[in-house]
Amino acid sequence: MQKRSIFLLALCSLVALSACKTQFELILTGDDVPLKYKTAFELFEAEKYAKAARMFENLKLATSGTPQDDTVHFYTALSHYKYGDLFSAEPAFEGFINVFPISPFNDRAKFLRIDCLYRQTLRYELDQTPSVKALNVIYQYLYEEPNSQYRAQCEEMIADLNQRMDLKDFEAAKLYYTIEEYKSAHYALKNVLKNDAENVYREDIRYYTAMAAYKFALNSVMAKQKERYMVFVDDYYSFVTEFPESHYRKELDALYQKVQKIIK
């Protein structure tokens, strides 16, 4: 008798749970593909992107090989993107691009994938590996689509990412100057330009290179000062030749005049 009661209770619970299923869940778990397709777009238009993504995802197998195939895959990725789930959207766009290379959605998918990668990049102080990946994908896209409607946006991303990476390199080298390790600062700053001559902070790097040389000489023993001040003189000439109108010029000119007296 007790077993029968337990069975009836379980059966009632199952019926109650079934009755509690939402309309969304009933459609999602059902077999009506046209209804799912219609509902997915209704959810998307209503900006219920998380549910839309689930519904489109559910449709992939049923629409495989049909005219709706690329649409379902694209809108799955787009729903993730609109919801703000970039970690799901980016690989979904990448998969779409690879599977549907001639789809009318392809160009937009390529740009939105780039946008996902760009938005996942980090502040300049942090690891710039995501920035390198984003730049590589952007450059490849512009090479393949030189007349893209998204070219201006891509170029803005490139400028921002390059500026961020340049700042990271500059600040890392300048840190030696800040902690008064002037010999190391001089070497590190020169290396920044050796590795990237077009660094956007080139003027600042040249200035701190000269200043590091000057302060290293200033803090040296008397016997080595003249030789080390000559390094500053070389860096000074390199700076004023390249940046004759720089706001750093007055300060460096004064140091140069002082060093000339010391050398003579």
Output the tens digit of pLDDT for each of the chain's 264 residues.
444 554 444 444 444 434 457 899 999 998 889 999 999 999 999 999 999 999 999 999 999 999 999 999 999 999 999 999 999 999 999 999 999 999 999 999 999 999 999 999 999 999 999 999 999 999 999 999 999 999 999 999 999 999 999 999 999 999 999 999 999 999 999 999 999 999 999 999 999 999 999 999 999 998 899 999 999 999 999 999 999 999 999 999 999 999 999 887
Task: For residue 80, give every residue at least 6 positions away whose Cβ sits within 8 Å of its Cβ, in sequence order, or none.
Answer: 49, 53, 86, 88, 89, 92
0.85 surpassed by pTM = no
| Cα–Cα distance measured from residue 208 to residue 197, given in angstroms and rounded to the nearest whole number | 15
| Cα–Cα distance measured from residue 38 to residue 16, given in angstroms and rounded to the nearest whole number | 28
Q: Which own/partner contact pairs does 108-113 have at CB distance under 8 Å and 24+ positions apart?
A: 109/74, 109/77, 110/141, 110/145, 111/141, 111/148, 111/150, 111/153, 111/154, 112/77, 112/78, 112/81, 113/89, 113/137
The per-type count for the chain, helices as H runs and strands as E runs, is: 13, 0
Indicate the residue type of 73.
H
Task: For residue 246, give every residue at least 6 positions away whose Cβ sits within 8 Å of its Cβ, in sequence order, or none.
Answer: 203, 207, 239, 240
125 φ, ψ (degrees, to nearest 5):
-70, -20
* Nearest residue to 177 via CA among 126, 124, 219: 219
| Cα–Cα distance measured from residue 244 to residue 230, given in angstroms and rounded to the nearest whole number | 20
Block residue for tokens 């140091």: 255
Indicate the residue type of 209.
T
Block residue for tokens 């990412």: 161
| Cα–Cα distance measured from residue 215 to residue 54, given in angstroms and rounded to the nearest whole number | 63
